[in-house]
Structure 1
Amino acid sequence: MPDPAPVPEKKTPDLVDVTRIYYEPAAAELPRGRQVLERWPEATRVPVESHWRIPELHGDEANVDRWVRIKREALVLGIKKSLQARPNGRSADFIAPSTANGCAMACAYCYVPRRKGYSNPITVFANIEQITGYLARHVARQGTKPEPNQCDPVSWVYDLGENSDCSVDAEISDNVDDLVTLFRGLPTAKASFATKHVNPRLLTLDPRGRTRVRFSLMPARVAKLLDIRTSPVAERLAALDDFAAAGYEVHVNLSPVVVHEGWLPLWAELLDQLGDATNAATKAQLQAEVIFLTHEENLHRVNLGWHPKAEDLLWRPALQETKRSQSGGLNVRYRARDKARYLDQLLGLISERAPYLRVRYAF
């Protein structure tokens, strides 16, 4: 494995230092939109017709030179117009309508930039009351879950952060607060989101077991190269007991699993660290998802312009095969036969080093 390369430095210790807010006028009129605008009163405000069409942010490959700067300094306010809870069945029963899109972090393998193109900073959807109302009605229509599945044995599970990181979103607005509050009062459903950011403010939200937080983990040496602008892996591990004690259901995502020379010993070390970091109460409810790397050709080309060292691990033609995505993009993933072998090796390692950890989903 190559040594981690230096990554672009932040001007401030914060993930965001907003200097420019692009807003749909209708979003700025809503209470949540006003909250966000008032938080950064000195930021330049730029009205836009649509959060999807902002040429200086989206769809311009030249923005690769400003990848991290855009994520730190730009923020978008919009209205979520299409409200739909899509069936999933893997990690969650349903994918909830997004309350945000984009991310201030810059993981080198992230699929979110494919949606709007390139840097894709955070868009906050201001019509939160409309979104939570839709979700409450959708949950009510499902009734009681008829039988257990890999998502949950009792509750319908709704993934909240398909196109964002909810822990980061909670640094920007109260949308995540409202979602945790909503699911706290829904006895037949749970919220769920994956995160690479430790946000201590979430510990105050009193989820009462109705929100599942899945902390994404990978060996620290690999994360230093690929998980740009995220909380260090050691910090994520240290947060597990705190979040469990605060009333969250705490799981871990072993994701993405990146295959390289010497990868299994690094995962063995991480599993030992996981055991050392968690108490008996956390271990008793800890479950895992295991997701191997899928990468994408266009993102590969973008990464070569701002963080090429990451591609030494992510783009491995000798190990990978191609597949067209539903959107028509060219994805690469480990060859099926080899991936099955890698998965067996990792699951065997989990059984040996972390026998308390039930793997709920592996892909």
Structure 2
Amino acid sequence: MAVERENLLRVTRIYAEEAALELERGREIIARWPEADIVRIASHWQIPEVHGDETNVARWVRIKTEALVLGLKKSVATRVNGRSADFIAPSLSNGCAMACSYCYVPRRKGYSNPITVFANIEQITRHLARHVAARGPKSEPNQCDPEAWVYDIGENGDCSVDALISENVRDVCDLFRMTPTAKASFATKFVNRDLLEWDPAGRTRIRFSLMPATTARVTDLRTSPMADRIAAINDFVDAGYEVHVNFSPVILTPTWLADWAELFDQLDAALHARAKAQLACEVIFLTHNEGLHEVNLGWHPKGEELLWTPAVQEEKRSQNGAVNVRYRHPLKAQAVAALGDLIALKLPYCRVRYAF
């Protein structure tokens, strides 16, 4: 279910930490919505009327549309990753205006998940510049990148949407534009053509998340249509971005393999030669969570018909101790192999960076 750009964010209330209001980026964000009510808060994690209130389930999408939170990133640190990227950079934001029903980020926020923008961007960029400088050149290629250290800058949100709110994403991409040993990376489900004017000089990798359109219409609420995401790839390559794709999440519907075959045909037909030559993908099968399942039943039960399928799922305890569910072994192993074979057949030029 798509949403028009102008309706994605109609901010009427900004919850703001006092310290964030004192920073230049905080003042810039406030100025973008001069009619919005400013509600001063002690912490962006502690807003009773937004987070942790079960009655907010029915207002899930409305809160995402109308509320914005402005805070400071307290823990400015970079973590080792090694899968999608070499490192996870400090978040520029937390939360999203879109409403994919399988998203893991709302699990930390309770019953609503508006965007929290961090105003201390100068502290974040200084940290990243020091971290990149300390690494020096990459001495050995790996699956993240053969030459550059890759920093995921959008772990807890969607940078294409965040770029509608502030200059945070552009500031970080500009930093990497001038950094020959590293590059930024983020996944997105929103086509923001403003980014085509940024001239990233090959130092930003955008990963467009793709899945069959019939499934996306049920689970990817308020996102750009799948056809728009595919159509944008050539333009972003031409604008100087490295563009990969995320086949994610892979949801095992009764027609899943045929649906993915159709998607791969659409992708192959749309891409020009330069886009194909640089293409790589990540493949991530669905992981769900019982708590999120219960929340989703309150606002979008139709999506749970696809996501919550206990007959073919088993428990998986994550690194942070949360109990999630994933497809049972060996069903998942068979599905991973089948999709890999299909990619090799339909998109032989597309390197699979990892699949799980």
Question: What letter is aligned with 2:134?
Answer: R
Matches within 5 A, 1:97-136: 97-136=90-129
Q: How big is the alpha-carbon RMSD for the aligned residues of Structure 1 and Structure 2?
A: 1.2
Question: What letter is aligned with 1:45?
Answer: I
Q: In structure 2, the residue corresponding to 1:14 is in which secondary structure?
A: helix
Q: In structure 2, the residue corresponding to 1:58 is in which secondary structure?
A: coil
Structure 1 residues 276 and 12: CA distance shift in structure 2, 3 A: closer
Conservation of the 8 A alpha-carbon contact between 2:71 and 2:119:
yes
Question: What letter is aligned with 1:238?
Answer: A
Question: What letter is aligned with 2:49?
Answer: E
Question: What letter is aligned with 1:128?
Answer: I
**Aligned-pair distance for 1:80?**
0.6
**Aligned-pair distance for 1:11?**
9.8
Normalising by structure 1, we get a TM-score of 0.96
Q: In structure 2, the residue corresponding to 1:306 is in which secondary structure?
A: coil
Conservation of the 8 A alpha-carbon contact between 2:80 and 2:88:
yes
Conservation of the 8 A alpha-carbon contact between 1:297 and 1:329:
no
Question: What letter is aligned with 1:223?
Answer: A
Conservation of the 8 A alpha-carbon contact between 2:312 and 2:328:
yes
Unaligned runs of 5+ in 1: 1-6
What's the counterpart of residue 26 of structure 1? 19
Question: What letter is aligned with 2:219?
Answer: L
User: How many residues align structurally?
Assistant: 356
* Match of residue 233, structure 1, among 226, 229, 233: 226
**What is the CA–CA distance in structure 2 between the aligned matches of 1:128 and 1:121, rounded to whole Å?**
19
What's the counterpart of residue 4 of structure 1? none
Q: In structure 2, the residue corresponding to 1:240 is in which secondary structure?
A: helix
Q: Deviations over 1:75-100 (max 9, x none)?
A: 00001111110000000000000011
**What is the CA–CA distance in structure 2 between the aligned matches of 1:114 and 1:255, rounded to whole Å?**
19
**What is the CA–CA distance in structure 1 between the aligned matches of 2:196 and 2:266, rounded to whole Å?**
23
Q: Does residue 280 of the first structure (1) align with residue 273 of the second (2)?
A: yes
* Match of residue 289, structure 1, among 282, 286, 293: 282
What's the counterpart of residue 325 of structure 1? 318
What's the counterpart of residue 213 of structure 1? 206
Q: In structure 2, the residue corresponding to 1:26 is in which secondary structure?
A: helix
Q: In structure 1, the residue corresponding to 2:123 is in which secondary structure?
A: helix
* Match of residue 245, structure 1, among 233, 238, 253: 238
* Match of residue 75, structure 2, among 71, 77, 82: 82
What's the counterpart of residue 59 of structure 1? 52
**What is the CA–CA distance in structure 2 between the aligned matches of 1:287 and 1:142, rounded to whole Å?**
25
**Aligned-pair distance for 1:323?**
1.6
* Match of residue 217, structure 2, among 215, 220, 224: 224
**What is the CA–CA distance in structure 1 between the aligned matches of 2:319 and 2:112, rounded to whole Å?**
22
Q: Does residue 149 of the first structure (1) align with residue 145 of the second (2)?
A: no
What's the counterpart of residue 175 of structure 1? 168
**What is the CA–CA distance in structure 1 between the aligned matches of 2:52 and 2:182, rounded to whole Å?**
37
**What is the CA–CA distance in structure 2 between the aligned matches of 1:69 and 1:129, rounded to whole Å?**
31
Normalising by structure 2, we get a TM-score of 0.98
